[in-house]
Amino acid sequence: MTIREEQVLERISRARNRKARLREDAITLAHGSGGKATHTLIEAVFREAFGNPLLDRLDDSARFTVNGADLAFTTDSYVVSPLFFPGGDIGDLAVNGTVNDLAVSGAIPLHLSAGFILEEGFPVADLRRITESMQRAADAAGVDIVTGDTKVVERGKADGCYINTAGVGVVQSPPTGEVRPGDAVLVTGPIGEHGVTIMLARGELDIEADLVSDTAPLNCLLADLMCSCPGAVRRMRDATRGGVATVLNELAADAGAAVVVEEDAIPVRPAVRGACELLGIDPMYVACEGRAVVVVAPEASEAALASLRSHPLGAESAVIGRVKDDPPGTVLLKTAFGGTRIVDLLVGDPLPRIC
Amino acid sequence: MTIREEQVLERISRARNRKARLREDAITLAHGSGGKATHTLIEAVFREAFGNPLLDRLDDSARFTVNGADLAFTTDSYVVSPLFFPGGDIGDLAVNGTVNDLAVSGAIPLHLSAGFILEEGFPVADLRRITESMQRAADAAGVDIVTGDTKVVERGKADGCYINTAGVGVVQSPPTGEVRPGDAVLVTGPIGEHGVTIMLARGELDIEADLVSDTAPLNCLLADLMCSCPGAVRRMRDATRGGVATVLNELAADAGAAVVVEEDAIPVRPAVRGACELLGIDPMYVACEGRAVVVVAPEASEAALASLRSHPLGAESAVIGRVKDDPPGTVLLKTAFGGTRIVDLLVGDPLPRIC
């Protein structure tokens, strides 16, 4: 890296460490993107109001003990549009998403809640299709939907159906949490399929592609990984809103380290790459709903890769990069042409309402 | 009761025991009311898809054990309109509602999740006001908001702000669950204040009334009750959507018994009674958000009343009726004029989007 590059990176790093300040007076779609605007909203409004040690970790799940039981607890609302898409629907997405948030915390998902907000006039047949899909996803993940709620709002006050799921899991073998220079960074399969599938399903683009959403429960895949590499798994994150780029940035920021990834090593299907080129977006920022980013100790990288690849949902796993000391809090991409570029957090998301 | 009355009641009882069948092809506002239409939707769609022993109890919370810890888990979405009203807002409502669902299960509420669905353009100042109100409610109830999520939908695809909260609590001294003939039925304060307050806040009626919502956390009130009457508390329910009448019907149906209440004994403030008369609705069906219906063993009724009244949130508690053998599954109201009438479940709710 040249001195000039180092100066630029230092300035970026300083800018990032400033206290979050929300400049907007009104909520924009970018606040729901999972990117910079979402981070600012969380810092300036939610952490400001709710701040407590469990929330402040901002992990995928909150962890606490109750009478000696080590629990993980998480929630997500789903507003995906359209509700039905190749490879899935809002129902299995809502189950898999919460299962995965528990799984990446090293928890065995046990019980889910389901809260429905339905628009007056929503077809009962669609609701049945969604609930059946949720149950199939729950069966696949080995969880039960044990409590729920339904609200109905007037025509025009929702978009058919919104679902919130919360989940409780028991933590058995959590990742160590500490990411260190030298650690290997893996991804559990090709990236961006969910986001591109949703975009194509909206029909706004005249692209035909043989793509389906990657929505899937990762709990067995990741539990197997934890068993295969005892004590060597540092962090796991599912790459949803904001894609792999956002997860890598969060990991780099938390660790105060750099994450350097090799463009050539990142699995991207040709159909995703082609659609992204036409859309003018980078697959690194496109949401997955069945892929995790995993950081493991240097010596465990081969064992981790073998464990992930032995599972159908991780068959195309790859080591995509390494953790380095410098520049702290930064993600660098070594391009196929030998250059290096910064992969920053985006302010918003090129694809709103992806989950 | 005359023979004719008995025949009528028997016919009603038979009709109620039929398998739920959803006649509508599309969701209506009545499906979100908490009344008969909601019950049918739950039976015909949600239990049909998700049926499992924990869900099938259809309690306010699901109960399960994890590594020996006895837990309660519940969820509710909030779509109240308007978002701000005398005595509260969607924020404290969302915290108190979930705290109360845990409390009536005999659980100590511990941790809450918060999922926000925001409409593009929603004022950040309103969001701050809501989150601050949530935190004050969480402090009052002794719970933490430990995990959350935010989604944003386009203008016109929501109504400002919807909130889902889920909650985890630890069960210490649950109600016995078995309601028996002779048991006393109590309510912890005047009924219908929340619903009427919301109705008036909509400004559709030109009524001025000095009313505020009863939204409040009932966990301390009910935990004190459990301590004061060990082993004698049968059931506790918070009387939200559908009001006290709906809760009494559910208790009667679960117990296969009759609940006979005295109209004169039910606390209703004059302003609520007056507004209900003008609106042509019965306060028995109007939502409360800080009142519980409690069933206790006959010999414990005085101790229960004393315990509830010693707490500020239960100062106006009253014994409103008794559980009887016949007619099973029915709620009867002894009117102030010496008559008896059936208090049935309504199909829908006279006041939609009350919580």
CATH code assigned at B250: 3.90.650.10
Neighbours of A18 (CB within 10 A): 7
Segment B285-320, tens digit of pLDDT: 999 999 999 999 999 999 999 999 999 999 999 999
Q: Which of B174, B200, B218 is the last residue of a domain?
A: B174
Indicate if B330 and B206 belong to the same structural domain: yes
Average pLDDT, chain B: 93
Rg (C-alpha) for chain B, rounded Å, is: 20
CB-CB neighbors (< 8 A) of B144 in chain A? 50, 52, 54-55
Residues B300, B222: one domain?
Answer: yes
Three-state SS annotation for B8-26: HHHHHHHHHCCCCCCCCCE
Query: Which one of B124, B128, B166 has the shortest CB-CB distance to A75?
Result: B166
Residue of A nearest to B56 (CA): A146
Q: Is residue B75 part of a domain?
A: yes
Q: What are A173's two structure tokens?
A: 């073998």
Q: CA-CA distance, A355 to A193, in Å (whole number)?
A: 13
What is the predicted pLDDT for the residue at B41? 95
Give me the phi and psi of B74, to 5 degrees please. -150, 165
- Dig out the tokens for A10 from the structure: 């230092």
Question: What pLDDT does residue B60 have?
Answer: 84
Q: Which residues of B276-308 are buried (b: 16+ CB within 10 A; e: fewer)?
A: beebebbbbbbbbbbbbbbbbbeebbebbbebb
**Which residues, 6 or more positions from A292, have their beta carbon under 8 angstroms from its beta carbon?**
A100, A103, A104, A187, A188, A218, A221, A222, A236, A237, A238, A239
CB–CB contact B152 A49 (8 Å): no
The position carrying tokens 């669905």 is: B117
B11 lies in some domain = no
- The answer to whether residue B56 scores a pLDDT higher than 70 is yes
Confidence of residue B57 (pLDDT cuts 50, 70, 90): confident
Cα distance between residue B109 and residue B272, in whole Å: 30
Contact A176, A234 (CB under 8 A): yes
Residues B164 and B192 in one domain: no
CA distance B216 to B96: 6
pLDDT of A349 reads: 74
CATH number at residue B97: 3.30.1330.10
Q: Which residue has the tokens 């009142």?
A: B291
Distance from chain centroid for Cα B196: 15
Say yes or no: A144 and A213 in one domain. no
C-alpha distances out from residue B17 to A177, B14, B40, B180, Å = 54, 5, 12, 20
A148/B45 touch (CB, cutoff 8 Å), yes or no: no
Confirm whether B37 is domain-assigned.
Answer: no
- For residue B352, the model assigns a pLDDT of 86
Q: How far apart are the first and last CA of chain B?
A: 38
* B238 inside domain: yes
Total count of domains within chain A: 2
| B324 and B234 together in one domain | yes
For A107-147, what is each residue's pLDDT tens digit?
999 999 999 999 999 999 999 999 999 999 999 999 999 99
In-domain check, residue B14? no
Do A156 and A271 sit in the same domain of this protein? no
Residues of chain A with pLDDT under 70: 1-19
The span from the CA of A62 to the CA of A73, in Å, is 5
Domain range for B99: 59-174
pLDDT of amino acid B200: 93
Is residue A20 assigned to a domain? Answer: no
The DSSP bridge partners found for residue B144 are: B111
The C-alpha angle with vertex B109 and arms to B107 and B112, in degrees rounded to 5, equals 140
Residues A65 and A96 in one domain: yes
The number of C-alpha atoms within 13 Å of B269 and in the hemisphere containing its C-beta is 21
Check A153 against B145: CB less than 8 A apart.
no
Q: What is d(CA B348, CA B21) in angstroms, rounded to the nearest whole number? A: 16
Residue with tokens 């109590």: B186
The DSSP string of B73-95 is EEEEEE--SSSEETTEEHHHHHH
Residues 61-80 of A with CB under 8 A from B: 61-62, 64, 66-71, 73-79
| Per-residue pLDDT at B4 | 60
Last residue in a domain, options B131, B156, B174: B174
Q: What band does B263 get if pLDDT is binned at 50, 70 and 90? A: very high
Q: Are residues A207 and A87 in the same domain?
A: no
Specify whether the CB–CB gap between B101 and B74 falls below 8 A.
yes
pLDDT at B219 exceeding the cut of 70: yes
Q: Is residue B348 part of a domain?
A: no
pLDDT band at B325 (very low <50, low <70, confident <90, very high): very high
Quick: pLDDT tens for A13-42: 565 555 678 889 999 999 998 889 999 999
Q: Are the beta carbons of B179 and B311 closer than 8 angstroms? A: no
Query: What gap in Å lies between CA A180 and CA A295, rounded to an integer?
Result: 9
Domain shared by B159 and B260, yes or no: no
| Token digits of residue A174 | 């959590």
Residues of A in contact with B158 (CB under 8 A): 157-159, 162
* CA gap A238, A255 in Å, rounded: 17
Would you call B124 and A49 a contact, using CB atoms and an 8 Å cutoff?
Answer: no
Average pLDDT over residues B214-239: 97
Place of tokens 């109960």: B63
Contact in structure between A355 and A228 (CB atoms under 8 Å): no
- Tell me if A306 is assigned to some domain: yes
The answer, yes or no, to whether residue B94 has pLDDT greater than 90, is yes
Residue A192 and residue A125 in one domain: no
If asked whether residues B96 and B221 sit together in one domain, one would say no
Q: Are residues B193 and B312 in the same domain?
A: yes
Interacting residues of A293 by C-beta distance below 8 A, sequence separation 6+: A185, A186, A187, A188, A236, A237, A238, A239, A244, A247, A248, A251
Q: Which pLDDT tens digit goes with each residue over B133-147?
A: 999 999 999 999 999
Token pair for A83: 């509700």
Among A174, A192, A213, the domain-final residue is: A174
Chain B nearest-CA residue for A73: B147
